[in-house]
Amino acid sequence: MVEFHHEQLRTLVAVIDEGTFDAAAARLHITPSAVSQRMKALEQAAGAVLVRRSTPVGTTEAGLVVLRHARKLQLLGVDLARELGESGREGGALSLPIAVNADSLATWFLDALLTFAPRADLVFDIRRDDQEHTLELLRSGEVAAAVTSVAEPVQGAVSVRLGAMRYRAVCSPAYVEAHLGGEAHVRRIANAPFLDFDRKDMLQHRLYREVVGGREVQAPRHYIPTTEDFARAVMGGLGWGLLPDQQCAAQLASGELVRLAGTKDIRLPLYWQRWSLASGVLDEVTDAVRAAARASLLR
């Protein structure tokens, strides 16, 4: 039976979260040499190399297994401390890593986190990624929970449907005049500039392929990798794009934005996947996330 020491597991988490041995040492208030010694002892106990000495430090396949174990023990430790009536825990507050897609983070997810504002024993480490890719962070053990568009739970996790975000294809009146010949219709977008969040963003491509019969986008494309600036770019006439209701409903009503005729709304279902671990902390966060989703997302 493999036995790991608590301090060694804490060190592994710190090394992965901080990215370097030096940064992990600063977080743990020990020397970089002590971090290196702990990591060597942990790898000897595991009988395998656990981390890649790169910048930032990465995990091997064996390292991912041990990392998941370490994070789960952290959660259980917090639950135990609370049951024993301890106000805090060694090393400070628990840092809970969660993966969230950018649009959720910008529109509704933060409301869930704000319910924990009075507490000092829990801090959040939010990892932002595309909704189709956040699940990889959960699978790898880098996060304890994720907002994802994938319903099927990964191994060792449970999945709960949160609701759906509705996206509309919109543009500004100035854009219609400059690029669509005065008619806000999808048949005019073939060569008109559009917006993508980043190179993982497939929403605009999905709509375009549906409109033009499966062909790939050939039009000029802008990349705007922040949610707020993406919406500002659409309203400013830089290109057309798909915006969630939370970012375009008021602007459509006021006339600041117009819908592209001939397009259908895209409903993106979202799910909350978390470790299937009996953890009071995870249960509380899950309840808060579900409540925030009920208040903002479509059923």
Per-residue model confidence as pLDDT tens for the chain (299 residues): 577 899 999 999 999 989 999 999 999 999 999 999 999 999 999 999 999 988 899 899 899 889 989 988 888 887 777 776 655 444 467 889 999 999 999 999 999 999 999 988 889 999 998 877 889 899 888 899 999 999 999 988 999 999 999 999 999 999 999 999 999 998 898 889 999 999 888 888 888 777 766 566 678 999 999 999 999 999 999 999 999 999 999 999 999 999 999 998 999 999 999 999 889 999 999 999 999 999 999 99
Q: Which two tokens stand for residue 181?
A: 């010949």
Instruction: Check residue 214 and give its pLDDT.
Output: 59
Q: Which residues face 273 on adjacent strands?
A: 146, 159
Q: How far apart are CA 53 and CA 23, in angstroms?
A: 14
pLDDT of residue 90: 45
- Long-range residue pairs from 251-256, CB within 8 A, at least 24 positions apart, any chain: 251/170, 252/168, 252/170, 255/173, 256/172, 256/173
For the entire predicted model, the pTM comes to 0.82
Cβ-Cβ contacts under 8 Å for 159 (sequence gap 6 or more): 150, 151, 152, 153, 271, 272, 273
Q: CA–CA distance from 225 to each of 170, 204, 243 (Å)? A: 18, 14, 14
Q: How far apart are CA 158 and CA 181, in angstroms?
A: 50
Q: What is the pLDDT of residue 89?
A: 47
Q: DSSP alpha helices (H): ranges in 183-279?
A: 203-212, 227-235, 245-254
What tokens appear for 180 in the block? 């669509």
Residue 141 is which amino acid? Answer: G
Q: What is the pLDDT of residue 88?
A: 46
Residue 262: strand, helix, or coil: coil
45: Cβ–Cβ under 8 A, 6 or more apart, which residues? 2, 3, 4, 5, 8
- Amino acid making up residue 279: S
